[in-house]
Structure 1
Amino acid sequence: MRVLVTGGAGFIGSFLVDRLLTAGHTVRVLDALDPQAHPHGPRAYLAPEAELQVGDIRDRGACDAALGGVDVVVHAAAAVGVAQSLYRVEHYLDVNVRGTATLLDAIAARGGVERLVVLTSMTAYGEGPYRRPSDGRVQRVAARSEPDILRWGWEPVCPETHEALVAVPTPEDAELTGRNVYALTKRYQEELTLSLGAVYGFPVLCLRLFNVYGPRQSLANPYTGVVAIFLSRLLTGQPPVVYEDGGQTRDFISVHDVTAAVAAAIERPLPGTGVVNIGSGVPRRIEDVARALARVAGLPDVEPRVTGQFRRGDIRHCFADVHRARAWLGFAPRVSWEAGIAELAREAAERPVRDGVAGAEAELRARALLTERLPAPKGVSHS
């Protein structure tokens, strides 16, 4: 099979290229080599057996050339990161929405493809669903605001009874309530690709990735993901910076498991088109993540700096319901959290590292997107 991977020189894309080549596929990569992710050009780890076409997803000519002779497309090219999207709105819309539209125009002009797999994001969900303990009702809650936090604490409460809620897994049919710019662009990617696939008659599968981590993740880009950001801090002699009280949770999945899921989406017969969650199904507290990384980095005595600050737009909890991934793709994660972060720590120790957190925080403060430490409401502790 001949596969085009947009963004194939990046963190996830390069591992996917390796897997596809090993499986005997012919692979072409279209990548702009954005300096934020590739400050020194193509990485040495990009497999030479893959055909690299340096070009921008927003360039119709580049898309037309990259699609020549291709059977399947994996669209992984994107501007990533929630925080940066809040002050680079035009860039995120341009790359993620216009870039996807340009690729779709090129696909439509050639009459479609055998299959299109799109890597999207769990950020589209916003806050995950919650169960109300008093009666078991599952509900969604509005995005938190500073007045909410000052009154009720960090955890969302039921707007009717004001009781503390319990986070539950997020299924694919949950309403998409994410309102940050990055989340909206990834949602638009899904809607555009699913719509064009239905019109032109080619199957589309959107994989909503939860928090991906692993080797090759940038250790210099402060918007790449919390695991790499924490590890970069530790390897430069700084404690991880944890916002809120550290009790917020995310669902982490190894890049190796993600590429296995993408390969299944390419190779397996599909029951239909639509969206599939790709996560572990396990929520992890962010403070615990920081401590676990300190341990595998050989720095178990380094305590995370829990700031009590609120980054506007951040959710509290969201983790995957993974039943559809099992049913549609036969997929279940195989890399344990402990093994995955240990592998990352070993690989990261051999690479140059730069801590960019201070600069990223300065950008947020300049735009009033990061609060000062919020006082805990009466009876509620931030620690």
Structure 2
Amino acid sequence: MRNVLITGGAGFIGSNLALKLVESGSNVTVLDNLSPQIHGDNPELSPLYRSILGKVKFIKGTVESRQDWNDALVGIDTVVHLAAETGTGQSMYQIKKYSDVNIGGSAILLDLMANEPHNISKMVIASSRSIYGEGKYLCKQHGIVYPNARSAEDMKLADFNVKCPVCSVSVELLATDEESKIHPSSIYGVTKQVQEQMFMITGQSLGIPTVSLRFQNVYGAGQSLSNPYTGILSIFSTRIKNGNDINIFEDGLESRDFIYIDDVVESIMLSIFKDEANYQIFNVGSGVCTDVLTVAETLKNVYQSNSSVSISGNYRVGDIRHNFADLTLIRSKVGFEPKIDFLNGIKKFTTWVNKQEIQKDLYEASIQEMKSKGLYK
């Protein structure tokens, strides 16, 4: 039996993980600040928070507080660090906040590990595919390349393709493996890169088995429907449920690797309980890329909606074009295999959405905020 602390444990991934760990016989402590952006204006009424009430030891606090960390770590042997600021777009203008929470919060934990008595024997850190930037591509002339962020000049001309950094010719997308170049294109990605490196270095130096999981786009029943900054499935669903039209950035062919929440939880469970995961860095995704236009049209059809889907050609500074995970390493080391494909995941997700109260659509306000910062073009 393990005594597990989950930071951000009242969030989407954290609450699902907490319930799975309790079911497996573990004792779970949750440290969470119940952010209104995730939990709504009345966080204590949040379904995610209420799903874990009475089943875990809950501490309302922040990873920015050393005292909250000390309180949460009492009797703990395993830490799963999920708490983070996550919106790519927001990160480009809330730079100090993202740095303070994602890097500063991690630094406090690791400083405690290095300087004070503890019983921690395992740490799992939630990293992100955003640290890869554009990821791995094939140039017909130059072979494997890792393109830089797309140029503003090309984007203004509606040329959204990824180019070879050597010859500037459009390149072919490949699955991104863990040995791929790390070069994030957003502040969020930078903070996750630093966070991951801090955990892996500290874990190695102190002899604490540490695992980093580079999540692709996580979705599923239970995710926030009121957060306009992260999760295009929830953003699109809330637009549709409010009878609003869907605006798709770029040309609609930008793609992501969508992985269902149950598979993500399984990857964390394997990381906690399998020694083969120790000191490893794993991609966690479905291994399949799906373009955003397909996502929008699929949701519209499932909801039987009359909302129109338009491709605007607008774009956000810091967004990548494509990325999908090579899962070879996590399959070979711990036997992880995603079980829920995109279509089945969409069915599960939309069935759940249809049972929820319709949330206020804050999308337009989020776009205006990005426009005011010069980050929405």
TM-score (norm 2): 0.94
Partner of 1:254: 260
Q: What is the DSSP-based 3-state SS (H/G/I as helix, E as strand, rest coil) of the residue aligned with 1:87?
A: coil
The separation in 1 between residues aligned to 2:28 and 2:177, in whole angstroms, is: 32
Partner of 1:214: 220
Partner of 1:115: 122
Q: Cα–Cα, structure 1 residues 86 and 202, in superposed 2: closer, same or farther, change >3 Å?
A: same
Q: Is the 8 A contact 2:175 2:326 kept in 1?
A: yes
Offset at 1:146? 2.0
Report the aligned-residue RMSD.
1.6
Offset at 1:179? 2.9
Structure 2: which 5+ runs fail to align?
none
Partner of 1:346: 351
Partner of 1:358: 364
Offset at 1:31? 0.7
Partner of 2:187: 181
Q: Is the 8 A contact 2:6 2:80 kept in 1?
A: yes
Q: Is the 8 A contact 1:112 1:200 kept in 2?
A: no
Q: Cα–Cα, structure 1 residues 367 and 112, in superposed 2: closer, same or farther, change >3 Å?
A: same
Partner of 1:324: 329
Q: Is the 8 A contact 1:145 1:312 kept in 2?
A: no
Q: Is the 8 A contact 1:111 1:200 kept in 2?
A: no
Partner of 1:75: 81
Report sequence identity in percent.
34
Q: Counterparts in 2 of 1:239-278, with a 5 A limit?
A: 239-270=245-276, 272-278=278-284
Q: Is the 8 A contact 2:76 2:119 kept in 1?
A: no
Q: Cα–Cα, structure 1 residues 328 and 181, in superposed 2: closer, same or farther, change >3 Å?
A: same
| Mean Cα deviation higher: 276-285 or 217-226 | 217-226
Offset at 1:271? 5.3
Residue identity matched to 1:15:
N
In terms of fraction of residues, the more helix-rich structure is 2
Task: Give a deviation string over 1:124-153, Cα, whole Å, max 9, x none.
Answer: 110011112x35711111101221235682
Offset at 1:159? 4.5
Choose the corresponding residue for 2:341, options 333, 336, 341.
336
Q: Is the 8 A contact 1:71 1:114 kept in 2?
A: yes
Q: Is the 8 A contact 2:271 2:278 kept in 1?
A: no
Q: What is the DSSP-based 3-state SS (H/G/I as helix, E as strand, rest coil) of the residue aligned with 1:276?
A: strand
Structure 1: which 5+ runs fail to align?
372-383
Q: Counterparts in 2 of 1:51-70, with a 5 A limit?
A: 51-70=57-76
Residue identity matched to 1:312:
V
Choose the corresponding residue for 1:293, options 274, 295, 299.
299
Task: Give a deviation string over 1:194-239, Cα, whole Å, max 9, x none.
Answer: 1111121101101000000011111111112111111111111112
Offset at 1:47? 4.5
Partner of 2:43: 41
The separation in 2 between residues aligned to 1:152 and 1:45, in whole angstroms, is: 45
Q: Does 1:149 align with 2:150?
A: no
Q: Does 1:124 align with 2:131?
A: yes
Offset at 1:272? 4.0
Q: Is the 8 A contact 2:132 2:182 kept in 1?
A: yes
Q: Cα–Cα, structure 1 residues 49 and 155, in superposed 2: closer, same or farther, change >3 Å?
A: same
Give the number of equivalent residue pairs: 369
Task: Give a deviation string over 1:105-136, Cα, whole Å, max 9, x none.
Answer: 2233224611100111110110011112x357
Q: What is the DSSP-based 3-state SS (H/G/I as helix, E as strand, rest coil) of the residue aligned with 2:38?
A: coil
The separation in 2 between residues aligned to 1:239 and 1:281, in whole angstroms, is: 30
The separation in 2 between residues aligned to 1:87 and 1:165, in whole angstroms, is: 30
Q: Is the 8 A contact 2:150 2:163 kept in 1?
A: no
Residue identity matched to 2:52:
L
Task: Give a deviation string over 1:162-193, Cα, whole Å, max 9, x none.
Answer: 43211000011111111311101111110111
Q: Cα–Cα, structure 1 residues 88 and 161, in superposed 2: closer, same or farther, change >3 Å?
A: closer
The separation in 1 between residues aligned to 2:287 and 2:274, in whole angstroms, is: 22
